């Protein structure tokens, strides 16, 4: 029985990862989910697992060393998803990014060191490299993060590495490209545009719409993390990518086409300050170990769109602002 501490498990990728673990390992895993329930944390994401005997939800902050020290001795593996994750919010208000993404990671690493954790997975991001116009980033390339979000993630990424080098804390660092799928807070490109289109609202495309991201279906990301827990080498960094580089405007048009909505919903808006032009990952280090994504982009996008169509209540509660009141009352928080 492997015991996991999943931080940020009520968010988009973390909740998909918890579903992934129960789908794959059923009762052979135990999961503690430590989540602060910021605006992005949503207990609705885990309704179907909340009564499992091998699942425990703890509402709390990864910056709370006393709480973290209580939980860490009860687990074998920490998977740290907890973060402020939205670039636009980091431009407006970086404070929480520095606290959670850097200091929170430090608190977890300290506890992992003290309690001799068996494995610590730091979920980093492709954004730590910055933008690349030609070619693709390898794990050994220089980090040139360009937003307060990516800079804070780079800080945690390198701090995790330093714990491996200095204290032999058994760290693995993953740098994944842009995720899409179920339970993504409707502020990111795909989740926002799909839900706006369903409501016949405008889709705000930044700048000229030609920025490029590499997209991966969230369950492929979860699978790669699981694969690396078994097959990754301690102290190493692994890029995880979907191999689906697309411009934002191409994605926007595809979403409208799949939903049979008019191009007139596209609205061109002022560019994001410091907007990275292109992300691209060289994933040979991971694929050489025998892992590859299972989902092709087009069918995973259709699956994702269908999920948002079928789960209108999930996102309309968030978008109407009733969400906070709802979950405070519903979950007695």
Active site positions, annotated: 126-127, 149
Q: Which residue is nearest to ligand TDX (CB)?
A: 125
Neighbours of 61 (CB within 10 A): 19
3 counts as binding ligand TDX under rule CB under 6 A: no
Q: Are 29 and 6 in contact (CB under 8 A)?
A: no
211 binds, among ligand NAD, ligand TDX, none (CB under 5 to 8 A by kind): ligand TDX
Of the candidates 322, 81, 295, 315, the one whose C-alpha atom is nearest the C-alpha of residue 193 is: 315
Q: Going by C-beta distance under 8 Å and a sequence separation of 6 or more, which residues neighbour residue 275?
A: 206, 207, 211
Q: Which residue is nearest to ligand NAD (CB)?
A: 11
Q: Is 52 helix (H, G, I), strand (E, B) or coil?
A: coil
Q: Out of 85, 122, 195, 283, name the contact with ligand TDX by CB under 6 A.
A: 85
154 binds, among ligand TDX, ligand NAD, none (CB under 5 to 8 A by kind): none
Q: Out of 178, 239, 283, 304, name the contact with ligand TDX by CB under 6 A.
A: 178
Cα 121 to Cα 79: distance, rounded to the nearest angstrom: 5
Cα 17 to Cα 15: distance, rounded to the nearest angstrom: 5
220 binds, among ligand TDX, ligand NAD, none (CB under 5 to 8 A by kind): none
Where in 13-52 is the site for ligand TDX (CB under 6 A)?
none
CB of 248 to ligand TDX, least distance (A): 4
The answer for 217, left when phi > 0, alpha when psi is -120 to 50, beta otherwise, is: beta
Q: Going by C-beta distance under 8 Å and a sequence separation of 6 or more, which residues neighbour residue 153?
A: 83, 101, 124, 125, 127, 128, 145
Of the candidates 109, 139, 304, the one whose C-alpha atom is nearest the C-alpha of residue 228 is: 139
Q: Out of 60, 94, 204, 243, name the contact with ligand TDX by CB under 6 A.
A: 204
Closer to ligand NAD by Cβ: residue 22 or 57: 57
194 counts as binding ligand TDX under rule CB under 6 A: no
Cα 86 to Cα 149: distance, rounded to the nearest angstrom: 7
CB of 251 to ligand TDX, least distance (A): 8
Closer to ligand NAD by Cβ: residue 12 or 265: 12
CB of 134 to ligand NAD, least distance (A): 22
Q: Out of 38, 90, 174, 248, name the contact with ligand TDX by CB under 6 A.
A: 248
Exposure letters 4-23 (e unless 16+ CB within 10 A, then b): bbbbbbbbbbbbbbbbbbbe
Closer to ligand TDX by Cβ: residue 77 or 266: 266
Closer to ligand NAD by Cβ: residue 176 or 265: 176
213 binds, among ligand TDX, ligand NAD, none (CB under 5 to 8 A by kind): ligand TDX
Fill in the DSSP letter of residue 99: I
87 counts as binding ligand TDX under rule CB under 6 A: yes
Closer to ligand TDX by Cβ: residue 54 or 202: 202
């Amino acid at each position: 029985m492997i015991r996991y501490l999943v931080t940020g498990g009520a968010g988009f990728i973390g909740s998909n990862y918890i579903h992934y673990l129960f789908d794959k390992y059923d009762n052979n895993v135990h999961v503690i989910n430590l989540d602060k329930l910021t605006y992005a944390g949503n207990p609705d994401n885990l309704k179907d697992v909340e009564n499992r005997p091998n699942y425990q939800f703890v509402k709390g902050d990864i910056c709370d060393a006393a709480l973290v020290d209580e939980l860490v001795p009860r687990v074998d593996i920490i998977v740290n998803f907890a973060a402020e994750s939205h670039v636009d919010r980091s431009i407006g208000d970086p404070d929480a990014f520095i606290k959670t993404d850097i200091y929170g990671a430090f608190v977890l690493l300290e506890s992992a060191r003290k309690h001799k954790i068996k494995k610590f997975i730091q979920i980093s991001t492709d954004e730590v490299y910055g933008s690349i116009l030609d070619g693709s980033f390898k794990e050994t390339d220089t980090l040139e993060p360009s937003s307060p979000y990516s800079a804070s993630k780079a800080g945690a990424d390198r701090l995790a590495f330093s714990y491996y080098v200095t204290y032999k804390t058994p760290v693995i660092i993953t740098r994944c490209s842009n995720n899409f799928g179920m339970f993504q807070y409707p502020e990111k490109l795909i989740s926002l545009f799909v839900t706006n289109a369903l409501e016949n609202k405008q889709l705000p495309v930044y700048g000229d719409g030609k920025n490029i991201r590499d997209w991966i279906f969230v369950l492929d990301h979860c699978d790669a993390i699981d694969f690396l827990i078994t097959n990754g080498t301690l102290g190493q960094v692994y890029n995880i990518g979907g191999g689906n580089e697309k411009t934002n405007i191409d994605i926007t048009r595809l979403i409208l086409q799949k939903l049979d909505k008019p191009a007139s919903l596209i609205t061109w808006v002022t560019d994001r300050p410091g907007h990275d032009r292109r992300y691209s990952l060289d994933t040979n280090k991971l694929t050489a170990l025998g892992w590859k994504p299972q989902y092709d982009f087009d069918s995973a996008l259709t699956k994702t769109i269908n999920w948002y169509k079928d789960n209108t209540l999930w996102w309309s509660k968030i978008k109407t602002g009733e969400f906070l009141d709802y979950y405070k009352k519903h979950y007695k928080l």
